[in-house]
Structure 1
């Protein structure tokens, strides 16, 4: 193999397999001399790839963890597997990784050959994920289109359906994607309305980047806070609830808000207190989905929402036979 760039890529692909490669085996696979392999290893090190060499009869080369993440080479099957996994993580929000999934998916799909994009789409459409069902599903292609427009930055056009069903066409300067754990929102400056707006991504259709670049405007506040205020009509509220269970039984997101142990009269009880901008109806459902007995202490609007949800569920069972 006389083409040096192609040979380096082939060598890197072999080294990214988690094993130690004897220099003689690498030379045989790439059809070059052992001396050429040693030179190519040095070139990879200069490019930032941490290649470790061991001496002796059992010695060889292997790629080890470094201070920074170097570019990876993926074969077709690996690229498809990663793209499908990222689409799942982006389309159904997973606490803590959803935004990173969108960024990584946007980068991967930008360079994915068309034949692999077709395979990813076919596999995605043929599978169904079992999710909590507490949030609207979002087409990952919509998210990646928006993420790319935010990174551009490029103006974005799309069709939008409002909460009352009204349809409209929008031209916006996208600023940030925000995930609440149940839904995705786009924070953007609406060109026609000349103001900042929040758009539910599951209500967006046919988004496309126009190619028109723009200088990003300064949002008056943090994007997450902007979305929270929009959901609450301008503010947040504090939740206090008591669960008839030990703190270790709560999900991680809720366990972080547990108050110090309080006298419980012999019964395990965990009190949580946190601030949220979610609608009371959604928060009541989210607390109920934990699957543990609980009592809402504050605020009154959440108590009412939990009561209404409970009555609805009891009524849905019907009379006993």
Structure 2
């Protein structure tokens, strides 16, 4: 496949947004400390259009300011890109908000990343294409655009496998080159090229006018901009994640205390030695009855009368009779 050199922004208001550099808010973000951490020393890097930057010589941005700058710079475009992947505005917003919540939770890691916008974009794509969303009833109902042409293009995108759809959006929608698309989709470059070709063929088979990649790119941008898509405010995203983190932290502490208390109670009340259980009584069968003494014979009666007739201290008891 012939690869063209395209320099399209990634994270501006359009689907094609791609900054030439990482926003200064993320570049100057803290990399250590609690989530988000302490800001490092040094001046922030150059910021592209639309990304706020700290003035030269001023103090670096705080973690919240850096996160808010990255969110304001990338969230609108990511919602439009996620819409191309899902076809549902609400699901696209949820995916982007979840991705930024994870970014705020792991802000030291994101701040150290060479491309924070790419980190958030990859996470948002994973959340948008997650199969767990299909179990939510409101995500099962499609929400097609009103324009017939956009509706046909969205239907063609939804017929693609998730990996093919992601590759097509990254290459023809966002404007990444083939190696970057392969790295973000965790596939080899030949496999990514094959996915891209098959995705284009599938879309062109349903919409022949989109056989030209330039026209396909223009239609993808128009489809992403057609819907009125908006993301929540960055403070809301940060607050939700902080509340969730506190809830799970307290739940983990309460669960640990419960386990420790139950273990302590068991150790104090459990027996220290083994006592064999007493088996219940039962009737014994097959034992013969005890025999009673029968009547005495004539010899035994004579002997008993002789013993009773003699004295207890007679000579027969002192000297044995030889007879």
Same fold (TM over 0.5): no
Q: Which has the larger radius of gyration?
A: 2
Tell me which interval the TM-score lies in, with the shorter structure as reference length. Answer: under 0.3
Query: Which structure has the higher relative contact order (CA within 8 Å, separation 6+)?
Result: 2
Structure with a larger share of its residues in helix: 2
